[in-house]
Structure 1
Amino acid sequence: MLNQQNILIGMGGGIAAYKVCEVISSLFQQGVNVRVILTNTAQQFITPLTVSTLSRHQAYTDADFWQPIHSRPLHIELGEWANLFLIAPLTANTLGKLTSGLADNLLTNTVLASNCPILLAPAMNTDMWEQPTVQRNWQQLQEYSRYHTIGPGAGLLACDRVGSGRMAEPSEIITKLQSLLYTKGQQDFQGKRILISAGGTREYLDPVRFIGNPATGKMGLALAQASRDRGAVVTLIHGPIASELLPTPSNYRRIPVVSAGQMEKEMLTHFSEADIIIMSAAVADVKPAQYSQVKLPKNTLPKSLELESVSDIIAQLGKIKEPHQCLIGFAAQTGDIVTPAIDKLKRKQLDIIVANPVDQNNAGFGSDNNQAIFIHAKGQQKKIDSCSKLELAHQLLDFVAKIR
C-alpha cells in the first residue's frame, strides 16, 4: 500500500518530533519516497542531519525556501510532488496558521501549493490543547475535506502532566497513512453505520481456565479502522485483545466482551441500528457445561469435559436481518475453503462471506497479513491474494460498495 508513494512530512516544533523520526524510518523501509520540511522551531528538537539520514534525502528548511530560485519555487515542486502530506507534530501555532490560510514559512506555503490529502497529528500540553481558541481552530479545520486527523491521545506528557495532547503513536500514524493512500482521502461510506465483531471469545471452566482460540482481533481492528477512515460510524464489539493492538484513542466506539454470551447480547443490542454488519470474530462453538466459581485443584479436574453448544450469533442475525442491511460473515477454513464457506453463506442467510485459509503461511490467526475469497449470495466471487489485513479490509469494503 505504501511502496513508491510520495509522502511529504512537515515537522512542527515540539518534543513529539522524536516520534516522527520513527515514522520517517518506517516509511522508508516500506519503500516510500519521503521528503521532510522542518520549521525553525522543529530544528530546536531534531536536526536536519537526522531527518536527511533517515529519509535518505535532503531535509528542507526555511533557509532553503529563501534561496534564489534556480528552477521552480521549492514549495510548488514539493506540493505537486506529494501524494500525501503529514504534519506532525502539529503545534498550536501551525494549526492557527492553517485555519487562517496564512503562509509565512516553507511548511505553510507548501500546504497552500498542494492539493493532496493532509493528515494532522497534533501534540501539545493539555492546557494548550484545551484552550477554546485551539479547539475552535481544530474543529474549523476539519470542515475542509482535504484535512484528516489522528489523535491526540491522553497519557503522560513531556511536561509531566497527565492528560490529553499526546501525539498518536508512529504505528497508528502509519496505519492512517496507508488508509489515506488507498482511499485518496475519499469517504465513500460517509454516514453509514457499521457494526463489527472481532477477536476470539473465552468460555471459562473456572476463574483461570477457559476454552478459546488463537484469534488476536487484528482483522476486526483493520476492518474498524478502514471503515472509520472511509467515513462510517463504527461500533466494534471485541473479545480480549492485547492492549498494544488497540488504538489510543480510537475514533470509533469499542465495546469489550469476554464470552460468546456477552458478544451475543451486545451484537443483538446494536444490530438494528447498523447498515452493514461484519462478523469477523472467532466465536466459540462450545463451552463447559459446568462453571466453577473457584479454581479447581489439578487433581479434581474432570478426565472428560462435558460441553454444551453456545448460541450461533450470526445465524440469529441472519434471521432478523432487514432488507436494507448487509450481513457479512467470515469462514476460517483449511483445505478447500470455498465449499464450506458457500454452505455457511446459505445456511445462515448471509449476504457476503469471506473465506480465508488458516493453514497458509502468513495468513489467518495472529498474522499481519491475510488472503481470502469474497463470495456474494448471488454468486459473485473475488479472490484476494496475500496482503496486509488493512488492505484486505479496504478491498472488502470495495466489494460491498460495488455489489450493493
Structure 2
Amino acid sequence: MKTKSNDSKIKVLLLITGSIAAVRIPLLVSQLAKENYEIRCVLSKNAEKLIKPLSLSILSRNPCILEDDQWSNSQSTPLHIELSNWADILIIAPLTATTLAKWVTGNAEGLIPSILIANIKPIIVAPAMNTQMWLNKAVQENYKNLKNYENVLSLQPSEGLLACDAIGIGKIPPNNLIQLALEFIALHKQNEYRKDLLNKEILITGGCTSEKIDAARHITNRSSGAMGLLLSQVARFRGAQVKYVHGPLKIDKNLTDGIKRYEIETSVDLIRALDNEISNCDYFFMNAAVSDFKITSDTSAKIPKNKINEHLNQNFELVPDILKTISKSKKDNQVFVGFCAFTGSIEEARITIKEKIIQKGCDFLFANPIDLEGQGFGFLAQNEGWLFDTNNLEHYIKKTSKIDLANKLITQIISLKK
C-alpha cells in the first residue's frame, strides 16, 4: 500500500528488542521503505548485539536510535515523548518476555519501555521467544493483560523450528503478516483502531473447490482464496475468533498465520466442514467459489481423450447450492453473507442478484464484477462491489484494495446488525 508523497507518508516507529528473531527485522524495514512508509528504528541494548544500527539507518533512510540516545544533551524534549508523538503507528518486533513484563507492569526503565508506556497510538505486537518461555504462566498472564489494551493489535507467535533447534510455538510472526497488520491499521486514518468484534465467532470460506474427472484431470476455477483470507485476517485484527475453511490457496501462505484454518478440496469436503462448524458462529461469510459441476463416478485411471466426452456425459452432475442448504439451519442470532461474481453492468445483474439472495436464504449478498481490468482474482487485484440485503439495501463500495474492501464490508454488515 504505497503512499503517494512524502507529505502523506505514514510514520512508523519500529521498536526492536533482544531476541534472536531481531535478525529478520532489517528485511521488514526494507519492505516497508519500498512501500513508502517513513520509518524510524529504535534498538534495545541486547538487540544492538544482534543487528547493526548502521544497517537499519541505511535501510530506513533515518538514523537508528539507541538506548544511549535517551538522555542526550541535544534533546530539547524527552526522547520517548518526542518519538511517541512523531509516530502514526508503532510496531514492536520482536517483543521479548523482559520487555513485555516491563510494559504491563509500568516499568519504564530503558528507552523502549518508556516509549511503550507513554504511547497511546496503535501498536502492532510481534512476540518471539523460546517455547517454554512463551508458555510460562507469568508470560502468558502478562500477554493476556496486554491483549486487553485498546490500542494493541497483537500477532500470536508462530509455530516451527526455533533458534534453539526445538520445534514449537515462539517464532516471530512472518514479516508479510506484520506488514498486512500495518496496512490494516493504516486504513483507519483519523478513526481509532477498535476491537469491535471481541467475543464474536466468525466462520469464513474462501478459495476454489476442485472436482476430480479422472486420474489426470479435474474441474476447478480461478479463485485464489485472497478475499476469504483477508476477510479472516481483518476479522481477527478486529478481535474476532475466526475459522477459515478454504480450498488450495494461490497466495502467500504466511498470510494465513494466526488463523485456525481447514483446507478442503471438494464440495463434499466443504459441506462436511461447514456442518461441523456452522452452529457455533455469529457471522458466516460464504466466500468460497464452489465448482458448479462434478463427476459422479470415481476412477483411478486416466480416461483416453477419445472417450472423455462419453465419460462426462454419463457422469456429469450439478453441485448443489451449498449456501442455500446451510441457510436452512440458520439461527435467528446468526448473520449469513453470500458472495456473487458477475460480468456486465450492475443494472443488468441487479435482478439476478436480488433473486439469488432470496433463493440462498442469506441476510446479505455482496456482488462484485470480475470483467473489469485490474479487478477480480488474485491478492494484488483491486475490487469494487455492491452489498444487497433482503429489503432495499444497495450499498456501493468503490474500487479499492482487497484488505480495504474486506474491512469496509465487515464494518457495513456489523453496523446494520447491531
TM-score bucket of the superposed structures, by smaller chain? over 0.9
> Is it true that 1:278 corresponds to 2:280 in the alignment?
no
1:268 alignment partner in structure 2: 275
1:185-205 Cα distance to aligned partner (Å, 9 max, x none): 311122222221111101112
Letter in 2 for 1:222: L
SS of match in other structure, 2:45:
coil
Residue 303 of structure 1: aligned partner:
309
Does the CA contact (< 8 Å) of 1:37 and 1:59 recur in 2?
yes
Quick one: which of 364, 373, 376 aligns to 2:376?
364
Give matches, 1:241-256, under 5 Å: 241-242=249-250, 244-245=252-253, 247=255, 249-251=257-259, 253-256=260-263
Counterpart in the other structure of 2:225: 217
List runs of 5+ in structure 2 lacking aligned partners: 4-8
Corresponding position of 2:396: 383
Q: Which residue of 2 aligns with 1:18?
A: 23
**CA-atom RMSD in angstroms:** 2.2
* Percent of aligned pairs with the same amino acid: 34
Deviation larger for 307-316 or 11-20:
11-20
Listed as ranges, the matches of 1:325-340 within 5 Å are: 325-337=334-346, 338-339=349-350, 340=352
Match of 2:90 in 1: 85
| Partner Cα separation in structure 1 for residue 261 and residue 244 of structure 2 | 5
- Superposed counterparts of 1:120-139, under 5 Å: 120-139=125-144
What code does the residue aligned with 2:330 have? K
Contact 2:337 2:363 in 1 (8 A): yes
Aligned CA distance change for structure 1 residues 248 and 193 (closer, same or farther; 3 Å): closer
Q: Is the 8 A contact 1:218 1:245 kept in 2?
A: no
What are the residue-to-residue correspondences of 1:179-190 with 2, within 5 Å? 179-182=184-187, 184-190=192-198
Paired residue for 2:242, among 229, 234, 238?
A: 234
Partner of 1:204: 212
Contact 2:251 2:379 in 1 (8 A): no
Give the alignment partner of residue 373 of structure 1, picking from 381, 386, 405.
Answer: 386
Q: 1 CA distance for matches of 2:14 and 2:219?
A: 47
The whole-number CA distance in structure 1 between the counterparts of 2:97 and 2:51 is 18
Partner SS state of residue 45, structure 1: coil
Residue 193 of structure 1 aligns with an amino acid whose one-letter code is: E
- Tell me how far 1:373 sits from its aligned partner: 1.9
Partner SS state of residue 317, structure 2:
strand
Give distance in 2, aligned partners of 1:288 and 1:358.
27
Q: How many residues align?
A: 402
Q: What is the deviation of 1:93?
A: 1.9
CA contact (8 A) 2:174 2:254 kept: no
Aligned to 2:6: none
Q: Note the residue ranges of structure 1 that are not aligned, 5 or more in a row.
A: none
| DSSP-derived class of the 2:187 partner | helix
Partner of 2:101: 96
Q: 1:282 offset after TM fit, Å?
A: 0.2
